[in-house]
C-alpha cells in the first residue's frame, strides 16, 4: 500500500491495485470562514494550500467520505469529482445527500462492500464527548483488507473511545491512520485525538504503525505537528507513531 497525506483528513491510498481518495476537502487556502464558536476565529479555512493541484487529487478510482462535515467533503470536491465516480458513504442519509449533489454511483458501506478485491468495512467513532459529540453527528472510520496487503484502519474523526478499541481488537490492523489535531470549540473537550489519545491508540496496537493526519489545516485544531513530535520524542515513540507533512507519501 501507499498512503499520501494530502491535507487535513484528505488522503490518497493505493491499496490492492485500487486508487482510493479519502475525505476530499479541496478548496484553496482561506476559502471558508472559521468554524463557529471555535478558537483562532480570525483564521480562515483551510489554513494552508493543497500540496498538489485539486484536479490531480481527484484522479482516483473510488472516493470514500467518512462523514459530511465541510473539512471532509466540500464544494470544490463536489464540483471536481467526476459525477460517474463511485462514492462510498457511511449511511443512507449521507448517500442521499451525495446523490443530491449529482453523484450517480453512491453506495453505503455494508457487510460486503468490495472495490476489486479490496474489502471495505465501516467502523464507528465518537466525534467528541457528551453533548458536543452528539451534536457532531454520526462519524465513521474504515478498514481496508486485501489478501496481499497489510490491514489498514483509518479511524476517521474520532477521539479515543471504545469504538476505536473494538476496531483494533477485531481487525488487528498493521497500519492505523488517526485524525489528530485535538480540534475543539471554545467550550468542552476536544473532538479529535490529542497527544494522549494518540498514545493510547499506540498502546492498544503496539506492533502497528500509527500515522497522524488532520493536522494544521483548520482553525480549531490546537495541537501542532511540532508539539506532537516533541511529545513522541520524549516518549521514545518516533518509530511507532509518524506525523507526515502534507504531500508526503508512505509505502508498506
Ligand atoms: Zn474533520
Contacts for 86 with CB less than 8 Å, ≥ 6 apart: 61, 62, 63, 105, 106, 107, 115
More confident residue, 28 or 186: 28
For the segment 13-56, what is each residue's pLDDT rounded down to a tens digit? 999 999 999 999 999 999 999 888 888 889 999 999 999 999 99
Alpha helix positions (H), 137-224? 162-171, 195-204
Contacts for 105 with CB less than 8 Å, ≥ 6 apart: 84, 85, 86, 87
Report CA(116)–ligand 1 centroid distance (Å). Answer: 28
- Neighbouring residues of the ion ligand 1, judged by CB less than 5 Å: 71, 157
Give the whole-angstrom CA distance, residue 206 versus residue 183: 25
Report CA(115)–ligand 1 centroid distance (Å). Answer: 25
Report CA(124)–ligand 1 centroid distance (Å). Answer: 15
For the segment 66-99, what is each residue's pLDDT rounded down to a tens digit? 999 999 999 999 999 999 999 999 999 999 999 9
Report CA(152)–ligand 1 centroid distance (Å). Answer: 19
Residue 129 pLDDT exceeds 90: no
Give the whole-angstrom CA distance, residue 125 versus residue 128: 9
Domains of the chain: 2-244 (3.60.15.10)
Report CA(70)–ligand 1 centroid distance (Å). Answer: 8
Report CA(8)–ligand 1 centroid distance (Å). Answer: 7
Please give the grid coordinates belonging to residue 84. Answer: 460517474
Residue closest to 181 by CA, chosen among 63, 22, 53, 71: 71
For the segment 136-160, what is each residue's pLDDT rounded down to a tens digit? 889 999 999 999 999 999 999 999 9
Q: What is the mean pLDDT of the chain?
A: 96
Amino acid at each position: 500500500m501507499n498512503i499520501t497525506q494530502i491535507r487535513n483528513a484528505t488522503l490518497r491510498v493505493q491499496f490492492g491495485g485500487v486508487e482510493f481518495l479519502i475525505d476530499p476537502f479541496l478548496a484553496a487556502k482561506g476559502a471558508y470562514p472559521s468554524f463557529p464558536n471555535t478558537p483562532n476565529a480570525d483564521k480562515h479555512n483551510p489554513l494552508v494550500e493543497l500540496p498538489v493541484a485539486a484536479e490531480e487529487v481527484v484522479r482516483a478510482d473510488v472516493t470514500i467520505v467518512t462523514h459530511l462535515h465541510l473539512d471532509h467533503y466540500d464544494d470544490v470536491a463536489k464540483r471536481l469529482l467526476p459525477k460517474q465516480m463511485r462514492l462510498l458513504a457511511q449511511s443512507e442519509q449521507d448517500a442521499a445527500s451525495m446523490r443530491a449533489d449529482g453523484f450517480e454511483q453512491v453506495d453505503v458501506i455494508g457487510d460486503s462492500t468490495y472495490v476489486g478485491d479490496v474489502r471495505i468495512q465501516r467502523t464507528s467513532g465518537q466525534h467528541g464527548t457528551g453533548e458536543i459529540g452528539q451534536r457532531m453527528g454520526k462519524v465513521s472510520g474504515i478498514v481496508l483488507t486485501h489478501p496481499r496487503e497489510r490491514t489498514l484502519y483509518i479511524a476517521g474523526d474520532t477521539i479515543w473511545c471504545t469504538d476505536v478499541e473494538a476496531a483494533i481488537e477485531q481487525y488487528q490492523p498493521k497500519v492505523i491512520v488517526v485524525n489528530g489535531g485535538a480540534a475543539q470549540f471554545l467550550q468542552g473537550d476536544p473532538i479529535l485525538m490529542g497527544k494522549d489519545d494518540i498514545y493510547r491508540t499506540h498502546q492498544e496496537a503496539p506492533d502497528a504503525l500509527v500515522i497522524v493526519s488532520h493536522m494544521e489545516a483548520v482553525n480549531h485544531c490546537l495541537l501542532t505537528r511540532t508539539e506532537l513530535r516533541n511529545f513522541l520524542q520524549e516518549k521514545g515513540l518516533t518509530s511507532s507513531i509518524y506525523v507526515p507533512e502534507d504531500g508526503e507519501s508512505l509505502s508498506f
